[in-house]
Amino acid sequence: MSPSRSFTVVPGSERQPMPGASVTGSCDLNQTAEVSVRLRSKAEAKLAQLTGKLSKPGFKHISRKEFAETYGADPADVKQIRKFAKEFGLKVRETGNELARRTVLLSGTVSNLQKAFKVELNEYSCLKGNYRGRVGPVSVPAEYAKIIVGVFGLDNRPQAETHFRLLTQPARHKHKATPSATTSYNPNEVAQIYDYPTGDGSGQCIGIIELGGGFQTTDLSNYFQSLSLNTPQVTAVSVDGGTNSPGDPSGPDAEVMLDIEVSGAIAPGAKIAVYFAPNTDQGFLDAVTTAVHDTTNQPSVISISWGQAESEWTSQALTNFDQAFQAAAAIGVTVCIAAGDNGSSDGVTDGSNHVDFPASDPFVLGCGGTTIKTSNNQIVSETVWNGGASGGATGGGVSNSFPLPTWQQGFNVPAPTVAGGGRGVPDVSGDADPNSGYNILVDGESAVVGGTSAVAPLWAGLVARINQDTGKAIGFLNPLIYAQAVEAEGFLDITQGNNGAYSAATGWDPCTGLGSPDGTGLLAALRGTSGTAATINASATRKSRKSKSAA
């Protein structure tokens, strides 16, 4: 390689050390690592046109095969990456879905990776553990710059956090006829409370993204047997070496079991594919693209309960995740994502408001949290979930990374604090307070769990039932649910409570979005759209239930 060779920075790839991290030494130059190289679409102009149509009336989903053939990576570009790999002593790990996912996996020694991407890799230590990291941007030889849109995996810091909260109070009361300070529910009971349409999700597949932990099949069979439900078919899919590895009932295992048991109790007839990946930006992104383009399991809805404040992501990550979610929308896959459990700050201590990503992406359904109190299977009050400084609170606010979508215009979304922002979070909500939490079984132990982690699978189960009823994938929900008639018939407004900086209000708000689901009403309203927003009756009025907004 010529010493004067020109390199070009990969846009948005700059990184800084994690807060409080310090360098403990240089990486072993002979250590082997793997990176994911994201490639441009072979039809970028057509892809831009497609993206512009996703929220318009009459959009028809395309198949995974058609998407890969038309908008995937160019085989010639993949050939160029193989040439690049050979030049720098790297190996290409064949996956068979490089074109659809626009992703090529390369492995090699730290020494060769540093030369190939013009980075210096060091070992870091911080409160969250040790990681291999870098400072500054990633660069590639100039002749490859046009085809490479992202490079992930050089830095393997932990990227995302779970969004569940374990009930810590000693007193746990199963669902009672009268409200109490702490009342827990089985997930199928919550579905009944929200008047979900009948069905069991047969014919559907729910994809779940997990960045750690695992499940035990004996727990699943025992849990669903206790609910008098058939145990759904659950399949573990390994991504980037991630595996189904249970072992910590208070850690990621609780997340995994919450996601499976909530969605499975609502849609026990659906297949559930759990995509296990390392908790890095590379692993997270690769899990999403694997699920979206999975031609074996073919999920029609994906549930994600992991995330982190937007400010903790690189620009290249935000861009590439967004492209992955655009692909999901085009194919007809609904993506439900937890909005976070740390209120309007999203756990960032800079005194500003933040929203959680990827829930803030405009092509996903951001899921916020509420507190419910019920009597005789009816909600007598529902407010914003806010348990105080130590009890957690629903995420929500305004994105600083994504502009206000057209379908959110006119909904009084607060102004962003930076130019280019504006997307309001969340879109929808549901029960998330641990004090009105969900009964689950994890590693042989019974637990009551809340958090917005529960709301993503709660909505995923609803989508599975809707898809089963309509006989087709509803897909990208956001443009449909913000239409006036669907909003009026499909949601129950939450008008009391706050998540810190923001308060609930009539209509959409930055705490609970459009509100919690009226499942049967939502299905009926969506049926009326005939798959388009154009046929919705714009004269419908907003549904209001005084009992739901009462304290």
Cα–Cα dist 141/533, whole Å: 46
Instruction: Spell out the residues 6+ positions from residue 283 whose beta carbon is closer than 8 angstroms to its own.
Output: 159, 211, 239, 240, 242, 277
Find out whether 475 and 333 touch, Cβ atoms under 8 Å: yes
3-state secondary structure of 196: coil
The whole-angstrom separation of Cα 475 and Cα 467 is: 9
Q: Out of 34, 161, 200, 259, pick the active-site residue.
A: 259
Q: How many CA atoms lie within 13 A of 112 on its CB side?
A: 18
Query: In this structure, are residues 365 and 427 in contact, taking their beta carbons and an 8 Å threshold?
Result: yes
Q: Which of 404, 397, 490 is closest to 194 using CA atoms? A: 490
CB of 335 closer than 8 Å to CB of 304:
yes
Given the DSSP bridges, would you call strands 365-375 and 378-384 parallel, antiparallel or unpaired?
Answer: antiparallel
Q: Is 489 a catalytic residue?
A: no
State whether the Cα torsion 162-164-168-170 is positive or negative: negative
Q: Choose, from 139, 345, 453, 516, the residue flagged as catalytic.
A: 453
Cis before 426 (ω within 30): yes
Active-site residue flag, 94: no
- What is the SS3 string spanning 91-112? EEECCCCHHHHCEEEEEEEHHH
Handedness of CA 180, 454, 492, 550 (dihedral sign): positive
Q: Report the Cα–Cα distance between both ends of the chain, in Å, rounded.
A: 70
357 with 401: CB under 8 angstroms? Answer: yes
How far is 188 from 191, CA to CA, in rounded Å?
Answer: 5
- Phi, psi of 112, deg, nearest 5: -70, -35
76 Cβ neighbours under 8 A, 6+ residues apart: none
Three-state secondary structure call for residue 363: coil
Q: What distances in angstroms separate CA 547 from CA 193, 226, 385, one per listed residue? A: 14, 32, 17
Active site annotation includes 259: yes
Question: Residue 142 CA to chain centroid, in angstroms?
Answer: 34
Q: How crowded is residue 53: how many other Cβ atoms within 10 Å of its Cβ?
A: 13
Q: Residue holding tokens 């400010």?
A: 311
Whether the Cβ atoms of residue 239 and residue 275 lie closer than 8 Å to each other: yes
Q: Which member of 161, 255, 487, 509 is catalytic?
A: 255
Residue 447 CB-half CA count within 13 A: 24
Q: How far apart are CA 458 and CA 124, in angstroms?
A: 38
> What residues act catalytically?
255, 259, 453
